[in-house]
Structure 1
Amino acid sequence: MIIQAFLRWVETAKATDRARAASALARAYCSKDGDRIDRHAADMAMTFLLDDPSPKVRQALAEALAAAPEAPRPIILSLAEDQPEIAFTVVTRSTVLADDDLIDLAARGTAELRAFIASRSHVSRPVSAAISEVGGVPEVMILLENAGADLSRRTLKRIADRLGDVCSIRNLLLERQDLPADARQVLVEHVGAALKGATFLQAVIGVDRLQRVARTACETATIDMAGLLEDADIQGLVEELRVTGRLTPALLVNALCHGRVDFFATAIVALTELSEKRVRSILSDGRPQVLQVLFESGGLDREVSALFAEAILIWRRERRQGSHIPAASIASVLVHRLRTMTDSSGLSECVEKLAIAEQRRFARDFAIDAARQAA
């Protein structure tokens, strides 16, 4: 009877009074003494208030129910799709909303609603994945900045794929210690694309040269990154390069010259589809002819395979002697080898540039060390 009287009163009461009453009703429903009232009737009354023309009433209802684990789920879901300030109150705070509810809201809701979900104190992996799949830049930025958001490696990779061309997103991703290697490689390519698209640089050095510079910079970044990765991340990086068509002979010879043998071996495993144990055994002890057959089975030309076999032999010799041969020295030997053979692969220019670049780097490092000692 009390609830029926309340509904009759609501029809004539002022908005401010209705808001106070809505708050009192919701608190009574969720209180420890809530069993003393007719919960079904109270539920119907709150449902009736969802259609109140005044947002103050619905806001009061949202504030009273937002933090209550006893709040009725249908009421919370309805408030979550109300106007933004009301939705914010329940979406950011309510524990009644399960992952499935949040995923559904993210999929069919507005950008504002996704931003509210992304800012919750805890965002599970499935919910984070949903936002990363459909969210725009603002929502994903909120998600990345939220310390309570649990993002899987796959979700981080997806964000890099979708929004890695946005500088702010790229910076937030690169600040993360848990960013997987394949996602970092995607960001490297986005930076390269941004470099190639720079109008000023195109005017200064020309489009063709700028493309070569960008490609070289991307390859250098990839090789440097490969030297810092664990085995699992190297596999992810190689797979990303293979799928995108960037696992090229030029990149592989660059890796060899820099001693990135783990990366090189993983790449050969991916290209040949042989077991890792078999590939590493051949790289460590196989005869030159066996090495060439291995490389050719991965789709490499005979000329390129001979060059790679030469580089592997140099690496073996230095490893057994316990010395560390700089990239410039390996590249110089390969340049000499290329000059004695017909190179239709286009690697001659790549290796020669690599040798020159490494010699210049070595000279710069030597000069810096000399200056420090003199000081």
Structure 2
Amino acid sequence: SMTLIEGTRQEEHAALIEHLRLRGDLTASFIIRTIAHGKVDFFGSALVALSQQSEQRVRTLLAGGHDVALQALLRSAGLAAATHAIILRALKIWREVANGKRLAGVQEVSWLMLKELGGQSAEGDLAGLVKSIHLDALRENARGHALAIAAA
């Protein structure tokens, strides 16, 4: 889960990824969830493990690679072509956030990922996954607002 990733230092990502891989938990859904949540360092470590590319190459591509190069990386990591557009959408938003050009969180990112699939009317497993990420983010934000109001 995202909580597990948040509690893991970057130097320990490779060990966690190997553990998840051996358990069968390093799925496309899990990887999509990590990028939707802005866990770009962990996402990069997963791509290093899955693609057999060097860490430097993967980090360089994630930081500023063009779509074609990023799609090749995603392909080499075994991620289906159907997932590429939403992953790239999320990655670009998190790049803007990291560069101070945008304020966004999981709620906004997952909404834009869903729009990439055709919006709320989108159907299929991938759309279902992104909708669930978005609804979880909405609930978490609502909970945070309710707690802030209660504390005021």
Structure 1: how far apart are the matches of 2:57 and 2:90?
19
Shift of 1:259: 1.2
Q: Is residue 2:70 matched to residue 1:288?
A: no
Aligned residue in 1 for 2:22: 243
Residues 284, 237 of structure 1: alpha-carbon distance in 2 compared, 3 angstrom cutoff: same
Structure 2: give runs of 5+ residues left out of the alignment.
Answer: none
Q: Is residue 2:53 matched to residue 1:274?
A: yes
Residues 324, 242 of structure 1: alpha-carbon distance in 2 compared, 3 angstrom cutoff: farther
Structure 1: give runs of 5+ residues left out of the alignment.
Answer: 1-221
Shift of 1:319: 1.7
Residues 343, 292 of structure 1: alpha-carbon distance in 2 compared, 3 angstrom cutoff: farther
Residues 318, 232 of structure 1: alpha-carbon distance in 2 compared, 3 angstrom cutoff: closer
1:352 aligned to which of 127, 131, 134: 131
RCO higher in structure (CA 8 A, sep ≥6): 2
Structure 2: how far apart are the matches of 1:343 and 1:318?
29
One-letter amino acid of the counterpart of residue 245, structure 1: G
Q: Deviations over 1:186-231 (max 9, x none)?
A: xxxxxxxxxxxxxxxxxxxxxxxxxxxxxxxxxxxx2111122112
Residues 289, 277 of structure 1: alpha-carbon distance in 2 compared, 3 angstrom cutoff: same
One-letter amino acid of the counterpart of residue 337, structure 1: E
2:107 aligned to which of 328, 333, 350: 328
Shift of 1:350: 0.9
TM-score, normalised by the number of residues in structure 2: 0.91
Q: How many residues align?
A: 150
Q: Is the 8 A contact 1:255 1:264 kept in 2?
A: yes
Aligned residue in 1 for 2:90: 311
Q: Is the 8 A contact 1:311 1:330 kept in 2?
A: yes
Stretches (4+) displaced over 6 A: none
Identity percentage of aligned residues: 29
One-letter amino acid of the counterpart of residue 242, structure 1: R
One-letter amino acid of the counterpart of residue 327, structure 1: V
| Aligned pairs (5 A) from 1:189-228 | 222-228=1-7
Query: How large is the RMSD of aligned CA atoms in angstroms?
Result: 1.7
| Aligned pairs (5 A) from 1:36-185 | none
Aligned residue in 2 for 1:162: none
Q: Is the 8 A contact 1:303 1:343 kept in 2?
A: no
1:252 aligned to which of 27, 31, 39: 31
Largest Rg, 1 or 2: 1
